[in-house]
Structure 1
Amino acid sequence: MSSLRDDLAAYIRKVDEGYELSPYQLAELVAVFLHEERDLVSGGLADQIQDFAYEQNRGAGYRHPKPLTSDALAADVVDRFGLDKDQP
């Protein structure tokens, strides 16, 4: 059974393959994944998650690796917002 961290990290790797997304675009997709695809957070919390995820990778350039790996970003988001409390 995969955890939310694993699922989010895999999603980040998939959508940012080749590092073509800006930090803002990636942060937006992380929030969409948790809000719309997983229905784990409300719209207001999704906005906070988007801001947080953006700050974690702010300054990354096109086709350059983000400062945080997909695994690290997923773990930071899940931990910061307590998203795994009801997860096994």
Structure 2
Amino acid sequence: MPQVIVSPREPKGPRLLEVPVDPDLLAAGDHNGSTFYQHQGFARVVAGAQAPEVSLTDGWWAVAIGMAAQESARTGQVVDLRHAVPDVTM
């Protein structure tokens, strides 16, 4: 079962709290994949019931920032994204 450690001031000291989560949701995961809730949202978008929560430009920036972070970690230098312009028109 998933757990959270909290360390309140009163009563002092860390406490371990168990967090009940539906096993099907745990199995769905969110690392290198989508959560159950993200799948539900995607299905609503495909059905025309809602607009996408993020745009193609949002996705482009997420990738650009991740790549810049990797480059910065590798080189120890700041990566300037001020002149990066996403080319995401279709």
TM-score calculated relative to the size of structure 1: 0.28
Pick the structure with greater CA Rg: 2
Identify, as 1 or 2, the structure richer in strand: 2
TM-score calculated relative to the size of structure 2: 0.28
Identify, as 1 or 2, the structure richer in helix: 1
User: RCO (CA 8 Å, sep 6+): is it higher in 1 or 2?
Assistant: 1
